[in-house]
């Protein structure tokens, strides 16, 4: 991770031309990120249409797949949703066979459940993203390892900035 690294080309813009170029590049990056967000939103919308789910269901499925198993309350917290909305979301995911609710053997409350993704069904979801995944693999082959480290660092920092902005709005 290159969070606090220095690169020789990372100089402070001096004259007006350098400042304008820097501003233009920064604007291009922000515009590209907005375009990417919109395109991924459209892709996700098509995926949920195929799965007969809602967008929020897919968001929660991603969290369960990546971080699970999770309890419904923890899932609601991570998704930024009210815990009462989890019942409907989990019902839809379970009806599609994408998740199962299981008693949490480590919980002191015998009613406690954890939610985990059903591995075989998650493979079906991943296949819907195969075109994007293949395209990303192809794009990454065009960059050196050092360039990919910079890109990964930028995306991590951007994600962190998004988390911070979200926290400020709550």
Task: Supply 138's token pair.
Answer: 């192809």
Task: Give the pLDDT confidence of 23-32 residue by residue, as tens digits.
Answer: 999 999 999 9
Residue 97's region, left for phi above 0, alpha for psi from -120 to 50, else beta, is left
Is 154 within 8 Å of 3 (Cβ atoms)?
no
DSSP structure string for 43-100: HHHHHHHHHT--HHHHHHHHHHHHH-SB-HHHHHHHHT--GGGHHHHHHHHHHTTSEE
Task: Give the pLDDT confidence of 4-13 residue by residue, as tens digits.
Answer: 554 545 555 5
Question: Which percentage of the chain shows pLDDT scores above 70?
Answer: 92
Angle, helices 72-79/86-95, rounded to nearest 10 degrees: 110
Q: What is the mean pLDDT of residues 96-120?
A: 87
pLDDT of residue 104: 76
According to DSSP, residue 142 is labeled T
Answer yes or no: pTM beyond 0.85.
no
Using the predicted structure, report yes or no on whether residue 1 has a pLDDT greater than 50. Answer: no
Exposure string of 120-134, with b = 16+ CB inside 10 Å and e = fewer, is ebeeebeebeeeeee
Task: Give the pLDDT confidence of 78-100 residue by residue, as tens digits.
Answer: 999 999 999 999 999 999 999 99
Task: Give the pLDDT confidence of 118-164 residue by residue, as tens digits.
Answer: 998 999 999 999 999 999 999 999 999 999 999 999 999 999 999 99
pLDDT band at 103 (very low <50, low <70, confident <90, very high): confident
Geometric angle at alpha carbon 149, from 146 and 155, rounded to 5°: 145
Q: Is 81 exposed, middle or buried (0-12, 13-18, 19+ CB in 10 A)?
A: middle
Domain architecture of the chain: domains with CATH: 16-128 (1.10.10.10), 129-170 (no CATH)
Q: What is the Cα 23 distance to its own chain's centre?
A: 27
Task: Give the pLDDT confidence of 55-80 residue by residue, as tens digits.
Answer: 999 999 999 999 989 999 999 999 99
pLDDT of residue 6: 45
Q: What is the mean pLDDT of residues 105-126?
A: 86
């Amino acid at each position: 991770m290159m969070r606090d690294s220095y690169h020789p080309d990372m100089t402070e813009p001096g004259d007006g031309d350098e400042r304008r170029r820097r501003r233009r590049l920064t604007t291009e990056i922000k515009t590209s990120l907005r375009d990417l967000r919109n395109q991924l939103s459209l892709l996700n919308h098509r995926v949920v249409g195929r799965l007969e789910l809602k967008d929020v269901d897919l968001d929660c499925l991603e969290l369960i797949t990546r971080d699970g198993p999770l309890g419904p309350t923890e899932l609601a917290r991570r998704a930024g949703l009210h815990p009462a909305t989890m019942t409907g979301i989990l019902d839809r995911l379970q009806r599609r066979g994408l998740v199962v609710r299981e008693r949490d053997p480590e919980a002191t409350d015998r009613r406690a459940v954890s939610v985990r993704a059903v591995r075989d069904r998650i493979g079906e979801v991943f296949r819907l993203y195969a075109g994007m995944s293949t395209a990303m693999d192809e794009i990454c082959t065009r960059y050196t390892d050092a360039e990919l480290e910079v890109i990964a660092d930028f995306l991590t920092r951007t994600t962190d900035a998004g988390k911070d902005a979200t926290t400020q709005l709550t």
